[in-house]
Structure 1
Amino acid sequence: MKFFTVRSLCPILLFTLVVGQPEVSDDQQSNESNQQIVESLDSFSWKLYSQLAKAHMSENLFYSPMSISMAFSMVSLGATSETRQQIFKGLELNTTVIKEEAIYSGFKHLLQTPNQLNSDLELNIANALFVEEKLNLLQKFKDEIKAFYKSELISVNFQQLEEAKNLINSYVEEKTNGLIEKLLSELSVDTVMVLINTLYFKGSWTNAFNVNQTRKEDFHVDENTIEKVPMMKREGVYPVAFFDDLECTVVKVPYKGNASAIFIIPNKGKLQDVEKAFQEGSLSERMKQLKPKKINLWIPKLSLSKKLNLKTELTPIGFGHLFSKSADLSKISNDVKLEVSQANHQAVIIMNEEGTVAAAATSIGVVVTSIEIVPEVKANKPFILIIQLDFQAIPLFIGRINNPNN
């Protein structure tokens, strides 16, 4: 879940650099352009992971790079050329390779992703702009944000802060099926616009875990800390690889409907080394080495929520200009000068025997038993979790689980 609040400053006369309005066309939604968007999203995902891993070394992490990228790209529609280019750079979108028109068409195509999924997988993406009723948005901005992002425009009286906050929180709660109830705790009296992006995912394991096999097991948080956590167990065939050079195991656990949860399980004490290796871009190549193999898989049940102040987290990785007073958002409105006053993100995950809800249905798999020795893959120490759509390897959520009980 991602939101921006935009605060009005003293009204001044502004010179607006007018650039051509991006046009929506089928040609610009080519497979090549879409692939470039996905590659940029993947690159941004790990750049942000690197920053978060350093800033929150002993904490759980969970966030949606797709939600964050989409929200910032929406903001870029209201930015003039310099500020817009800084946003693109922060999002790892190289405009020398992909044109601005293709960027916006690419995000429009991402919004259509849920239509490509079958009924076994639920993915809902929604965008909304809550706008002060007295603020005059430029027509071009309104047209573009509707055309590319299907954003609702909702008029709000921000002079009634409590009512405005409750309206926005109710919208978020509805779009996330109740997972996020109170996103906004406060609003500034100067707020004139709140931009919301929500992403709700619900997937059922292709082969459900048997609840009767779930039991309390040791989870090695660090050398000195062991927690008892509920561990789910299932023997089955999964794509897996044991990387001796990285000292980690990677296993892919599929959901029904062309999505997967990828567990990157470092050997004890090797989390930071593994994080560095995957931040340097080796994940996609490593995933090609996964082979189906019968294993005893142990993964913890999860229920956690993570909030991030993105002004703090993103400033070191290229977004400082957007969060400064020199940012130019005059393509939103030329009535007042605008600045981004808040940028917050919240993500929630519930993972159990049936599947995963992030913001389950049950199937039972029957396999032939044998007396062969089956390798054990056990996520009983800090690990990295990725939830992705398989057909384009689109990262929906990324997390690092240091302690399932926190």
Structure 2
Amino acid sequence: MRISNQTNREDGPKRGFGQRKSERLFKKISLFALLAVVAVAGCSNGTSEPNYVSAYKAEDANPELSAAINKFALDLYAKLEDEPGEADPGPNRMISPAGIGIALSMLKDGAEGETAQQMDGMLHLNGMSPEVLAESQMILSDLLRGSDPAVKMDIANSLWSRQGFEVNKDYAERIEKSYGAQVQAIDFTSDQAVSTINQWASDNTAGKIPEVVEAPLSENLVLLLMNAMYFKGDWSEPFKKGQTEDLPFYPEGGQEVKVPTMRQSGDYAYLDGEGFEAVRLPYGETRNFGMILALPDENSSLDEFKQRQLPKFNAWSQELSDNEGSIELPRFKLKDKLTLKATLSALGMVDAFSDQTAELGGLAAGGAQPGDIFVSFVTHDTFIEVNEEGTEAAAVTVIGAETTSVPAPQTPFDLKFNRPFFFAITDRTTGAIVFMGEVGNPAED
């Protein structure tokens, strides 16, 4: 293994590394967007203006929140192996822990007692108060929006309450102010309720996620907490379409398939790690956003990588250094929908889902007894498309609450992503992992 201590860079291509590693290709796309940030206060739709300039500097970000976000993201992604959130998991998977984390943070603001403690532990907040959490997320969100004028990073939050259910006024005001959330009462029994909620999701994901709830909604539903995230960035060094051609991809244990594969050479931030190689492809002008792609060695597998190296992501992702090489990367496009009740329960958030012990009194005016209000579902819809120009990704999380009542000599590399591989989109300004995933079969949507 060679680990260089050179300064991390995000420049373009370099030649040569994947040939010696394998002619098999992963086809398991699992987008794992990991950043728990919130919309800027007073910006209820989270939309970034062109050339948006953040009111904050990188040093204003709370490092404890960034660390908590990434820990939760890695925990969540690992737990999906046991609790995948879908009845028939395919070779591709995709999530945005970032959006999930934001929605859960809003919920935690109304949690009490053991329920709040369980959520605190799951989110690795170490006793961070709701006030500090909300302020820290607001700053992080603003920094993300202004990280690169050429990259669009939007975050939106909303709280929908059933008409007749009196939301805790202080809670609603905090969510609206600190998280920039749209707060609205709606008749969940009306024909328009579902279309209105779905329209909000569509509007805040550029139409990529047009449907997140279905009719009829439960008659016991009293609250919906929602987060939407949208990312669109062009590669700093776009792939040339003329170099894209159908090349073989080798799914784990499956037959070879031909997929449109992009090719590029140049200087990249690269790592020859223990049992894998990784490269970072930057977006935009500042190159703060970038996609980290990790390819397990030919004699290894994506499962082994996730078990051994994914928990160390925060460490090895800082070791990438400038190297010359070439890349082959399949185009891919994915959509996914997960239900996360079992996954989050397995991570320690147990009481919130119980109609006996959930302590969510902070959500309701006048409070509530344990079990009066509980979380009935958490759904997560995601979308990503990667092509020659860049990447477009979106995610919507919905929480439903019901009531009972040192440098080494450089060696040119040739990196061919023609077998299952991992990827992550990160931001250097905040240190946050924005999206993360894996491609097991780019031929499957």
TM-score (normalizing by structure 2) = 0.77
Please say if residues 66 and 430 of structure 2, whose CA atoms lie closer than 8 Å, have aligned partners that are also in contact. Answer: yes
Of 376-385 and 167-176, deviating more is 376-385
CA deviation after TM superposition for structure 1 residue 108, in Å: 2.0
CA deviation after TM superposition for structure 1 residue 214, in Å: 0.6
**Structure number having the greater helix percentage:** 1
Please say if residues 240 and 293 of structure 1, whose CA atoms lie closer than 8 Å, have aligned partners that are also in contact. Answer: yes
User: What SS class does the counterpart of residue 80 from structure 2 fall into?
Assistant: helix
Q: How many residues align?
A: 362
Map 1:32-181 onto structure 2 (within 5 A): 34-56=62-84, 59-95=91-127, 98-160=128-190, 162-181=191-210
CA deviation after TM superposition for structure 1 residue 401, in Å: 1.4
CA deviation after TM superposition for structure 1 residue 338, in Å: 1.4
**Counterpart in 1 of 2:5?**
none
Partners of 1:288 and 1:74 in 2: CA distance: 31
Partners of 2:92 and 2:440 in 1: CA distance: 5
Counterpart AA for 1:107:
Q
| Percent identical residues | 27
User: Cα–Cα, structure 1 residues 52 and 37, in superposed 2: closer, same or farther, change >3 Å?
Assistant: same
Partners of 2:126 and 2:119 in 1: CA distance: 11
Counterpart AA for 1:182:
E
Map 1:286-365 onto structure 2 (within 5 A): 286-325=316-355, 326-334=357-365, 337-359=372-394
Structure 1 residues 277-336: Cα deviation after superposition (integer angstroms, max 9, x where no partner): 2343x2222123212112111111110011110102211111122111211111111466
**Counterpart in 2 of 1:377?**
415
Partners of 1:291 and 1:395 in 2: CA distance: 18
Please say if residues 114 and 122 of structure 1, whose CA atoms lie closer than 8 Å, have aligned partners that are also in contact. Answer: no
Partners of 1:99 and 1:79 in 2: CA distance: 12
CA deviation after TM superposition for structure 1 residue 53, in Å: 3.0
Counterpart AA for 2:383:
V
Please say if residues 103 and 225 of structure 2, whose CA atoms lie closer than 8 Å, have aligned partners that are also in contact. Answer: yes
CA deviation after TM superposition for structure 1 residue 82, in Å: 2.2
User: What SS class does the counterpart of residue 309 from structure 2 fall into?
Assistant: helix
**Counterpart in 1 of 2:308?**
277
Please say if residues 278 and 294 of structure 2, whose CA atoms lie closer than 8 Å, have aligned partners that are also in contact. Answer: yes
CA deviation after TM superposition for structure 1 residue 99, in Å: 4.3
Counterpart AA for 2:194:
K
Matched, 1:404 2:442: yes
Tell which has more relative contact order, 1 or 2 (C-alpha 8 A, sep 6+). Answer: 2
Of 175-184 and 306-315, deviating more is 306-315
Structure 1 residues 171-201: Cα deviation after superposition (integer angstroms, max 9, x where no partner): 1001100000111124212222211100000
User: What SS class does the counterpart of residue 69 from structure 1 fall into?
Assistant: helix
Partners of 1:196 and 1:339 in 2: CA distance: 16
Partners of 2:275 and 2:116 in 1: CA distance: 41
Of 39-48 and 316-325, deviating more is 316-325
Partners of 2:174 and 2:353 in 1: CA distance: 23
CA deviation after TM superposition for structure 1 residue 73, in Å: 0.5
Structure 1 residues 84-103: Cα deviation after superposition (integer angstroms, max 9, x where no partner): 121111112111xx444322
**Counterpart in 1 of 2:19?**
none
Counterpart AA for 1:109:
I
Of 216-225 and 108-117, deviating more is 108-117
Please say if residues 213 and 232 of structure 1, whose CA atoms lie closer than 8 Å, have aligned partners that are also in contact. Answer: yes
Counterpart AA for 1:104:
A
Matched, 1:225 2:274: no
**Counterpart in 2 of 1:395?**
433
Structure 2 regions of 5+ residues with no counterpart? Answer: 1-32, 35-56, 395-410
Matched, 1:212 2:216: no
Partners of 2:271 and 2:240 in 1: CA distance: 24
**Counterpart in 2 of 1:203?**
233
Partners of 1:89 and 1:225 in 2: CA distance: 43
Partners of 1:324 and 1:139 in 2: CA distance: 24
Counterpart AA for 1:380:
N
Counterpart AA for 2:283:
Y
Partners of 1:249 and 1:59 in 2: CA distance: 21
The RMSD of aligned alpha carbons is 2.2
Please say if residues 263 and 326 of structure 2, whose CA atoms lie closer than 8 Å, have aligned partners that are also in contact. Answer: yes
